Chains A and B, each alone.
Chain A
Amino acid sequence: MKRFIMLAAAVLLLAGCAGHRYRSEFDFANKLAREGLWQEALFRLQKARAAGEDSAALHNNMAVVLEALGRPDEAQKEYELALKLAPANERIRANLDKFKRNEEKDLHEKK
């Protein structure tokens, strides 16, 4: 029983650490994005993803950063994943709409 409690405590502690790491990398990435340090923000978001759970916010922010870095194909995938996870989120939808308008404009100009 004692061993089981110890094991559970260790699992909870590790899970807690992982969650904390995700939040801090994620928050740091947001700070970097607000300052326009896109490459660094992307690196932090990738670390957050590698360390933790999936979330609509993570995909959305990744998409914004990729868009800022001029990687529209990857950005579109991330926006769509974000919207899949949070279909009612107006911010994500607005971001995706603006992104799509740019893409359509590009396509129109190419034509």
Chain B
Amino acid sequence: MRRNKLALLLVLSALAAACSESYAPVTIPFRPRNVVDFSAYKDLFFIDFVLDAPEQGFDAGAEVRRVFVEEIPFAAGRPVQRLEPEHWADILATLRRYRLAVDIQYADSLFFQRVFRAHPQGLFFAGRLKLNVKKMGVIREGRDEAGKSKNVYDTVEMWEMEMQVGLIDGDARRLLWQETYAEKGEPVAGATARFTFSSMFAKLAARLTAALQPRKTEQERHILGR
């Protein structure tokens, strides 16, 4: 009787083992797809951005250009050349002087179609940068001569920066990718306008870099044994 029970138990164990699913976790590398395959293009160009920003006593356009020509190549894995289409500098200067809020459709513009044709197999960075500097009234907590706390009216500057950047396939005259990044904050006390601009723009550039060069991560999957 006991032998029979043992045999039954063995049979049941064997059946359970046979029915149970065996699996093992594995870690797979995962790299999100790049927004654009930069290697598919002969050249990468940067076209000076349309700037909608108040005069602050420094060349904001030069800072934007520097980031795209010196830093973005690390994310793209390719050099980025500055492109200076004829008359573009004059157009930009006019737009900036009158702070005209234009939304240029690069891929459809006749002006840029000529530029794209002149640079076959090119990929173009283009976009606009908007900066608003607002003065805001705030109530701060202060102390009077006797050391008692009191509310003090003060004004602070609030900077709001927005960058819209796009990648255009020149041959196809098609906008491949476009993103808008925004930041806002108060300048650090005593900082120059140039410093505030550069540090704020660096934050936007870092987010753009992360988007252009997705980071490799790891993810778990299950492989099955049977």
Contacts and interface: CB of A to CB of B under 8 A. Distances in A.
Are A and B associated in one complex?
A: yes
A76 interface: no
Contacts of B220: 98
Nearest to A107: B33
Interface residues of B, number: 23
A92 B33 CA distance: 23
Given A60-B224, A95-B222, A70 B32 contact: no
Nearest to A67: B28
Interface in B56-86: none
Interface of B: 21, 23-24, 26-33, 35, 177, 211, 214, 219-226
B221 A98 contact: yes
A56 B35 CA distance: 33
Nearest to B219: A98
B32 A60 contact: no
B224 A68 contact: no
Contacts of B26: 33-34, 36, 64, 68
21 contacts: A27-B225, A30-B24, A33-B26, A38-B28, A57-B224, A64-B221, A64-B222, A64-B223, A67-B28, A70-B31, A89-B21, A89-B224, A91-B21, A92-B224, A95-B222, A98-B219, A102-B32, A106-B32, A106-B33, A109-B32, A109-B211
A38 B223 CA distance: 12
B225 A57 contact: yes
A94 B219 CA distance: 12
Contact of B35 (A30, A68, A110): A110
Given A89-B21, A109-B211, A110-B177, A61 B224 contact: yes
A68 B32 contact: no
Given A106-B32, A109-B32, A109-B211, A67 B224 contact: no
Interface in A34-61: 34, 36, 38, 55-57, 60-61
B77 to A, nearest CB: 16
Nearest to B36: A110
Contacts of B224: 56-57, 60-61, 89, 91-92
Contacts of B211: 109
A95 B32 contact: no
Interface in A45-101: 55-57, 60-61, 64, 67-68, 70, 72, 89, 91-92, 94-95, 98
Given A36-B27, A95-B222, A102-B30, 18 more contacts: A27-B225, A30-B24, A34-B26, A36-B26, A38-B28, A57-B223, A57-B225, A57-B226, A61-B224, A64-B28, A68-B29, A70-B31, A72-B33, A89-B224, A98-B221, A109-B32, A109-B211, A110-B35
